[in-house]
Chain A
């Protein structure tokens, strides 16, 4: 194999935009991120190094406006037939450089997709929020404030709980929504975001999705308090913290769509988030392959390059094989998403698409965590050394396995679909 790009992906799935977009993006990432990423861990709180890199990518290159329609200054990608596949490419390239930066960018898109993705477009809100992202050369972040203290990722278990456990409330008072609640761990919290998408309930304890509301809350409003970022094992480019909403008032039309459609539009985010999570991981694994290739070619066992020893070759062969399979699966997951509006496709909020994509994400997560752990062992005395980059990815990808309900929710969603379970 000549290049890591030769890892398999179904070529008939690839967007015409892929080659050139990927080239520009890769060049920018190598210059702005890969060259400095080994110092990111110490920069977790201040983002002195990380923020300028975000500015180059999101502001100057313009990634943050990619989803907005062209008439509002964006690139119009949310309306593309290739939305999932272009997103996959973007997240894979970002993941190769730094999965923390990748998730911070992707999560900026996440709450906006509730109003950007057909058939759930909200023209008025697009017009309202587009200038915030499109009329600047500085990075601007958004966050999806979902997780709550009492129940971890229960909120992402919409298929079963239908919002029953949500304790963040929205009360209509005249022409304003009044928000109260406590969220924790959103990507791009910790003082980073200018805009929050907030899943809340209009009737606590209800299992009727008509009572689920998705409401946008600008971060500067009175009553919004953000805690300091948490210190974590990795993912330094992604800040996470607590957010409190105390009698926060927003215009009534900041609700995404209204009863029923809010839950549907929000539920799309689960499959989108899972597909892009897979892309982060395959991107990181492509970089693993690059670094591992160098190590096993230049270091020896029995005075021969490690890769020429049959037993070691058995291990690194399996690693490369897993990367190849995961990349194929990732592209298949993206294609499932892009078939959503086709006659032979299924809605991304249907039980089968949610189940199948959760299943792929769970499978790829397990393989990724295992592959990185094994690669560190192949490096042995050098496995924990930051200069080889693999340990950074190892720390970063673990949280991808854990987020959005983690492994167990993936297993439940898959069982629910494949075995028609009714009570899980």
Chain B
């Protein structure tokens, strides 16, 4: 099955280098993860770590978004958005957890220019994981600084020695329990939104217990509290629009991860409906009602791929960090839509597979849990309401919402 021929992407002049990397990732994941699904499932914690290490270092994905001067692939510029998207789609097709971890790593250099020290963890032989803390729900009875209505729970205070960070019971997107560093959206003394890069080993970081979650089970998460955490002044990025940019790139990249999971569900479903019969004889896929469901699955995934390809182009041509309002509106809008579409595709697929879709053996249910987790994380809180407000602000210049 050639997924590239079935699911078309908008025309994008990707260079040979991008194509080679994408092909390499696909080759690796097909051989080492997709081709060994049952082993992978049965020994998941160990094999996940092993495959993640290999993707990060043998294939080189950890260095993908680092500059060439620092020894990376140089894919940290907006023009490489499409290439990164394709890589993450391939990773997500194999395991969304790995895709989410790489997405958070990549969103950081796409949003902020890292100096050599900040880039160093990604260029080492150790696995380096960034856990992103975005604004989210606040606590009733407390007044928080707001980022487009969402509460910013971390605050940074500049000092002579650098900066001090405080924030209580924040929920990272994923991987908070295992992170090597945190990229936390915070506010400074002047109430400006900024981004703080916090080494995971810094004193004053208090981790809550590891959380049990619906999906992304390899990205162990926990609540994080910063108690007077001291960081270098250079680790606070105050560029206007930086939080919008981070959020936008995450919308694109996590969309790619979910698309990958959806495409693998499509492959699983295709295999399944070639062997199942209905009403005692005919192949399931030849039944008109079932065929209509299959069409829904394909349609949602095809539209998702087109939308994400276009979003990558929009983010590239928007000049990346220069046009954050438009980026934020489009990325939020399309990001939410593609998660809905992939969830619909997977839900419809499970409807046909019935109990086989629900059993771990077929792996469909893992994609279902993982993508739902990504979708909820991207909502932040309030389902689609906050993103709708962002959209209304951009298109209708609403100023009071």
A306 lies within 8 A of B137 (CB): yes
**Is B120 close to A, CB under 8 A?**
no
A299 lies within 8 A of B355 (CB): no
Binds B, one of A148-156, A173-181, A216-224: A148-156
Knowing A373-B372, A380-B379 are in contact, say whether A154-B365 is a contact too (CB < 8 A).
no
The docked-state distance in angstroms from the alpha carbon of A234 to that of B355 is: 11
Number of A-B contacts (CB under 8 A): 187
- Restricting to B283-321, which residues have a CB under 8 Å from any CB of A? 289-290, 293
**Is B347 close to A, CB under 8 A?**
yes
**Is B359 close to A, CB under 8 A?**
yes
Which chain A residue lies CB-closest to B150? A301
**Is B389 close to A, CB under 8 A?**
yes
CB distance from A273 to the nearest CB of B (A): 15
A407 lies within 8 A of B140 (CB): no
The docked-state distance in angstroms from the alpha carbon of A301 to that of B279 is: 51
**Is B278 close to A, CB under 8 A?**
yes
Interface string of A359-393 (1 = CB under 8 A from B): 00000000001000110111111111111000100
A379 lies within 8 A of B358 (CB): no
The docked-state distance in angstroms from the alpha carbon of A154 to that of B281 is: 11
A386 lies within 8 A of B213 (CB): yes
The docked-state distance in angstroms from the alpha carbon of A188 to that of B167 is: 48
Binds A, one of B141-149, B196-204, B251-259: B141-149
**Is A406 close to B, CB under 8 A?**
yes
The docked-state distance in angstroms from the alpha carbon of A416 to that of B384 is: 38
CB distance from A100 to the nearest CB of B (A): 12
A299 lies within 8 A of B359 (CB): no
A150, A152, A369, A395: the one within 8 Å of B369 (CB): A395
Interface string of B364-401 (1 = CB under 8 A from A): 01001100110111011111111011000000000001
Knowing A301-B382, A311-B388, A386-B212 are in contact, say whether A233-B139 is a contact too (CB < 8 A).
no
B140, B290, B369, B381: the one within 8 Å of A380 (CB): B381
A377 lies within 8 A of B379 (CB): yes
Which chain A residue lies CB-closest to B290? A408
CB distance from A317 to the nearest CB of B (A): 12
**Is A343 close to B, CB under 8 A?**
no
Which chain B residue lies CB-closest to A365? B351
The docked-state distance in angstroms from the alpha carbon of A185 to that of B359 is: 10
- Restricting to A296-348, which residues have a CB under 8 Å from any CB of B? 297-303, 305-306, 309, 311-312, 314-315
CB distance from B65 to the nearest CB of A (A): 24
Per DSSP, chain A at the interface is: helix
Interface string of A143-163 (1 = CB under 8 A from B): 000010011111001001100
B139 lies within 8 A of A300 (CB): yes
> Total interface residues on B, using CB and 8 Å?
60
Q: Which residues of A contact B139 (CB under 8 A)?
A: 298-300
**Is B250 close to A, CB under 8 A?**
no
**Is B276 close to A, CB under 8 A?**
yes
**Is A75 close to B, CB under 8 A?**
no
A315, A380, A394: the one within 8 Å of B380 (CB): A380
Knowing A233-B365, A297-B140, A394-B372 are in contact, say whether A386-B211 is a contact too (CB < 8 A).
yes
Which chain B residue lies CB-closest to A235? B358
B382 lies within 8 A of A231 (CB): no
**Is A182 close to B, CB under 8 A?**
no
CB distance from A157 to the nearest CB of B (A): 7
The docked-state distance in angstroms from the alpha carbon of A239 to that of B143 is: 48
**Is B343 close to A, CB under 8 A?**
yes
A150, A384, A386, A406: the one within 8 Å of B354 (CB): A406
**Is A83 close to B, CB under 8 A?**
no
Interface string of B126-153 (1 = CB under 8 A from A): 0000000010111110111010011100
Interface string of A384-416 (1 = CB under 8 A from B): 111100010011001101110011100110000
Q: Which residues of A contact B293 (CB under 8 A)?
A: 408
A153 lies within 8 A of B212 (CB): no
A154, A231, A385: the one within 8 Å of B361 (CB): A231
A384 lies within 8 A of B360 (CB): no
B137, B143, B379, B385: the one within 8 Å of A299 (CB): B137
Q: Which residues of B contact A398 (CB under 8 A)?
A: 350, 358, 368
Q: Which residues of A contact B358 (CB under 8 A)?
A: 232-234, 398-399, 402
Which chain B residue lies CB-closest to A39? B212
Q: Which residues of A contact B23 (CB under 8 A)?
A: none
B377 lies within 8 A of A384 (CB): yes
Which chain A residue lies CB-closest to B213? A384
Knowing A303-B138, A377-B375, A380-B376 are in contact, say whether A240-B381 is a contact too (CB < 8 A).
no
The docked-state distance in angstroms from the alpha carbon of A41 to that of B360 is: 13
Q: Which residues of A contact B365 (CB under 8 A)?
A: 232-233
A297, A305, A384: the one within 8 Å of B216 (CB): A384
CB distance from B395 to the nearest CB of A (A): 15
A411 lies within 8 A of B289 (CB): yes
A301 lies within 8 A of B140 (CB): no
**Is A356 close to B, CB under 8 A?**
no
**Is A165 close to B, CB under 8 A?**
yes
Q: Which residues of B contact A377 (CB under 8 A)?
A: 375-376, 379, 382-384
Q: Which residues of B contact A387 (CB under 8 A)?
A: 211-212
Task: Indicate the member of B173, B357, B383 with the most A CB atoms within 10 Å.
Answer: B383
B376 lies within 8 A of A376 (CB): yes
A-B contact sample (7 more), CB < 8 A, given A152-B278, A299-B381 = A151-B279, A231-B359, A300-B151, A380-B382, A382-B381, A402-B354, A407-B351
Subset of 11 A-B contacts with CB under 8 Å? A230-B360, A230-B361, A233-B360, A234-B358, A300-B151, A301-B150, A303-B143, A309-B385, A374-B383, A381-B137, A384-B213
Q: Spell out B's residues near A (CB within 8 Å).
A: 134, 136-140, 142-144, 146, 149-151, 171, 173, 211-216, 276-280, 289-290, 293, 343, 347, 350-352, 354-355, 357-361, 365, 368-369, 372-373, 375-377, 379-386, 388-389, 401
Closest A-B pairs by Cβ, 4 of them: A383-B376, A380-B381, A165-B280, A299-B137
